[in-house]
Chains A and B, each alone.
Chain A
Amino acid sequence: MRVTDAMLYDLVSRNGQAAKSRLDQATAQESSGSRVVHPGDDPGAAGLIVTGQMNASTLDTIATTAGRAADELQTTDGALSAVADGVSRARQLAVQLSTSTYSASDRAAAASEVQGILASAVASLNAKVGNRYVLGGFQDGAPPFDAAGNYAGDQGVRQVEIAPGVYQAANVNAAVAVKGANGGVDILATLSALATALQSNDVSGVQATIDQLAQGTSQLATARGQAGAAMSTLDAAVTANQAARDTATKTVSGLADVDAIAAATNLAQAQYALQASLTATAQSFNLTLVNKL
């Protein structure tokens, strides 16, 4: 084949450009750590990266949200625990002061203590997380219990997503747990009745509250049990979603990130190829009759 000078220059130019292009690509991959920058780099992976990143983000948010719901339930459980302690103390007083051993003044003093327990219970049940009253159901913008123990909330049960499309109840229904809706005991009303009976030295009235307070304690224990189970579910959801997020992130990384060793090797190869190309170019330019005649 007849070789002309222009062919030599074209060849050098093409090969040099190709070597520089490969070096540029290898450098970009090595420095960015990413092998799929443009969708055309790997169309299949590009689509999977989009869905994978969204999936990882979804799982991360579900974990965060479930964690917050668990924290709220922790607050709710603390409130119910405080109320349960108060109810237990109130029942102890009711049992103690329902005997003839105690005087009217003793019962009046106990009445004050029960009033305090009631006030404390109301304060506990009006617990807030952020700006929301956690025991108000869907009516979370105002204190659900007034000083007399009346309930202004509703029986709304908030749902939290614990996996894509899977939901978990994330609040305690105070109407049932505290106010005894659906056939239970109105704990706050019972405390109020106990205080009134003690104040009026009404022994039979005091005795009438003992079983109700015991039932109330059981009612609160049930509610706390439900809250505990929900917290456990939410905590498990946090762990599971974080693990799933890590897997999804790893999958995306596997699709999008360069193999560091391969990238370094490619970079070294590209550098050597360019050096060889430049050396060959310099030598070939000297081989002309112009330099010999």
Chain B
Amino acid sequence: MADLIQILNNAASSLAAARGAAATASNNVQNANTPGYSRQVAVIEANLPADQVGDVYLGQGASLVQVTQARDRFLEAQLPAAFAQSAGSSAASSTLQAVSALDPQAQGGIGDALSGFYDALRQLSQNPSDPSLRQAAVGSAQTLALSFNSTASAVESARTGADAKITADVSQVNQLASTVASLNGQIRAARAGGGQPNDLLDARQSALDQLAQLTGGAPVTTNQGDASVFLAGGAPLVVGTTANALSAAADPANGGHVAVTLSVGGATSAVSPGGEIGGLLSARDGALKTAGAGLDQLAFDLAGQLNAVHQAGFGLPPANATGNALFSVGATAAGAATQIAVNPALTADPSLLATAAAANQSGSGANVLSMVATGTQPLSTGLDASGALAQVTSAFGSAAQGIAAAAEQDASLTGQLTTMRESTSGVSIDDELIAMQKAQTAYQAIAKVIQTSSDMLDTLLQLT
């Protein structure tokens, strides 16, 4: 009789295990689309030790031992770097791709304006005293200056846009870092109580993934089970339950564009995050800065060369104006494309345009031809104006193309790793429905065992 009661006890334990298996599968199905959720597995084991009856060991049913997560640590160790690389190249590529001011066939671009300016000078050289041609030449010079202004402004706007995104990202990073630090504490407390806090682990993993995407921060798991996060160069973003704060502040040494710093225990130091922030910094201070500097140098060189020729020439008699600059531009190349403008005196009075090589020669276009010749003379870069512009365009294009290819490749690698992680940790509705079916069948069978045991007990009791 004792054996029959033991059967009932064992069946109760096994019934609970089957119910736990069903609950786990049910939870999996309900979280099938939850971001960061890792499939949970109900671990059912035979109850030990088996009951010895004479020389025979009778089993004691089964119990739900624990509910674990299906995770592949090898894959997960590779993912932060892949996420960071992909987010960085994608952010850099998007930033460069959004700049259309350097498009080679853009109407109103610098190429168009440069052509228009030299074309107007050529036409003026044939009839330098014609007021409409003089007006057209001055107008085309203004168009060229405005084209430099607007292109430089577009490039600078892209850099400023990257600043805004970096600032927003930094705010998000600080929030995520606090979340990770808080979850470290909660996970530590949960484990102290003897449990495996799967949902907290999932939430932390999700936050770590996002941190990796934003900063390239690599998580390091400590012996206590904490996940600390370190930026490039070992800068500690999260250590245990402490989150350090990133800041984005204007850097006067870089034209007022934001620099990222990390405050640790009251000490602030510059850091170079990777991930999306790193990609934005790379695009801002790489291809975009280079393109802006190239435009500045071109504007500065061109203005200097044309001014030198223009100042040596003479305007229409009787004023015979001489010594006037054609363009006003700063003393250095820095910011020249933004500052360049036509001398307002010439705008107001195109007769001051120095078309002649000597005074009192209204019909001479000798000085205009000298200005036209600057179009093919080498600038400080060793290239003429069109060559210098082509170089700026091609260099920017090469950077954009290279980073776009890298972004595609990185996205492919990340996709592959994510797929492999999903293969291990993701929820398959079909699998879980089968698991549910299996648990249900087991539950029904165990219920039958209880029924049968009960019948056997009844039979035995009727004998007594």
**A-to-B contact residues, CB < 8 Å:** 1-7, 10-11, 14, 34, 36-51, 53-55, 57-58, 60-62, 64-65, 68-69, 130-132, 136-141, 154, 156, 158-161, 164-165, 167, 170, 256, 288-290, 293
Q: Which of A2, A53, A167 contacts B369 (CB under 8 A)? A: A167
Q: Which residue of A lies closest to B126 (CB)?
A: A65
Q: List 20 A-B contacts (CB under 8 A).
A: A4-B428, A5-B426, A7-B423, A39-B400, A42-B397, A43-B398, A43-B400, A47-B104, A53-B105, A53-B111, A58-B115, A61-B122, A61-B123, A64-B123, A132-B363, A138-B362, A141-B317, A154-B361, A159-B369, A256-B104
Contact with A along B358-392 (1 / 0, CB 8 A): 00111111100100110110000000001101110
Chain B 332-366 interface mask (CB, 8 Å, partner A; 1/0) = 00000000000000000000000010001111111
Interface of B, secondary structure class, is: helix
- B96 interfacial contact with A, CB 8 Å: yes
B430 touches A54 (CB 8 A): no
Q: Which residues of B, 414-444, contact A by the 8 Å Cβ criterion?
A: 415, 418-419, 422-424, 426-431, 433-434, 437
Query: Which 3 pairs, one residue from A and one from B, show the smallest C-beta to C-beta distance?
Result: A39-B397, A40-B400, A43-B397
Kindly state the separation between the CA atoms of A111 and B386 in the bound complex, as whole angstroms: 63
CB pair B365–A158 under 8 Å, yes or no, is yes
Cβ contacts under 8 Å, B119 to chain A: 57-58, 60-61
User: With an 8 A cutoff between CB atoms, is B129 at the interface?
Assistant: yes
Q: A38 contacts which chain B residues (CB < 8 A)?
A: 97, 100, 103, 397, 400
Contacts of A136 in B (CB 8 A): 363
Chain A residue, CB-CB nearest to B411? A14
CA distance A45 to B116 in the complex (A): 21
A3 to B131, CA, bound (A): 77
Q: Tell me the minimal C-beta distance from B180 to chain A in angstroms.
A: 24
Inter-chain contacts of B419 with A (CB < 8 A): 7, 10-11
B394 touches A39 (CB 8 A): yes
Binding site for A on B (CB under 8 A): 32-33, 96-97, 100, 102-105, 111-112, 114-116, 118-119, 122-123, 125-127, 129-131, 316-317, 356, 360-366, 369, 372-373, 375-376, 386-387, 389-391, 393-401, 404, 415, 418-419, 422-424, 426-431, 433-434, 437
Q: Contact: A132 with B130, CB < 8 Å?
A: yes
CA distance A69 to B127 in the complex (A): 9
Residues of chain B lying within 8 A (CB to CB) of residue A64 = 123
B154 to chain A, nearest CB (A): 13
Contact B363–A53 (Cβ < 8 Å): no
Closest Cβ neighbor of B387 among chain A residues? A51
Known A-B contacts A54-B386, A65-B126; A47 and B391 likewise in contact (beta carbons under 8 Å): yes
Determine whether the beta carbon of A289 is less than 8 Å from that of B429. Answer: yes
Check if B397 sits within 8 Å of A47, measured CB to CB: yes
Number of A-B residue pairs having CB atoms within 8 Å of each other in the complex = 197
Determine the distance from Cα of A5 to Cα of B396 in the docked complex, in whole angstroms.
42
Give chain A nearest CB distance to B421 CB in angstroms.
10
Residue pair A289, B430 in contact (C-beta under 8 Å): yes
Chain B residues with Cβ below 8 Å from A50 are 104, 111, 386, 389-390, 393
Q: Are A46 and B394 in contact (CB under 8 A)?
A: yes
- Quick check: A40 and B404 within 8 Å, CB to CB? yes
Known pairs A36-B105, A64-B123; A5 contacts B397 (CB<8 A)? no
Shortest Cβ distance from A1 into B: residue: B423
CA distance A188 to B426 in the complex (A): 104
Docked pose: A258 CA to B53 CA in angstroms: 87
Give the chain A neighbours of B404 by CB distance below 8 A.
40
Q: A6 contacts B33, CB within 8 Å? A: yes
Taken together as a complex, chains A and B put the C-alpha atoms of A197 and B69 apart, in Å, by: 126
Partner of A170, one of B126, B387, B418: B126
**B261 CB to nearest A CB, Å:** 32
Cα distance A102–B246 in the bound complex, in angstroms: 114
C-alpha gap A58/B376 in the complex (Å)? 11
Query: B397 and A4: CB pair below 8 A?
Result: no
Q: What is the CB-to-nearest-CB distance from B415 to chain A, in angstroms, rounded to a whole number?
A: 6
Known A-B contacts A40-B400, A132-B363, A138-B364; A4 and B423 likewise in contact (beta carbons under 8 Å): yes
**Complex contacts, A34 vs chain B, CB 8 Å:** 105
In the bound complex, CA of A42 to CA of B398 (Å): 8
Is there contact, CB below 8 Å, between A6 and B427? yes
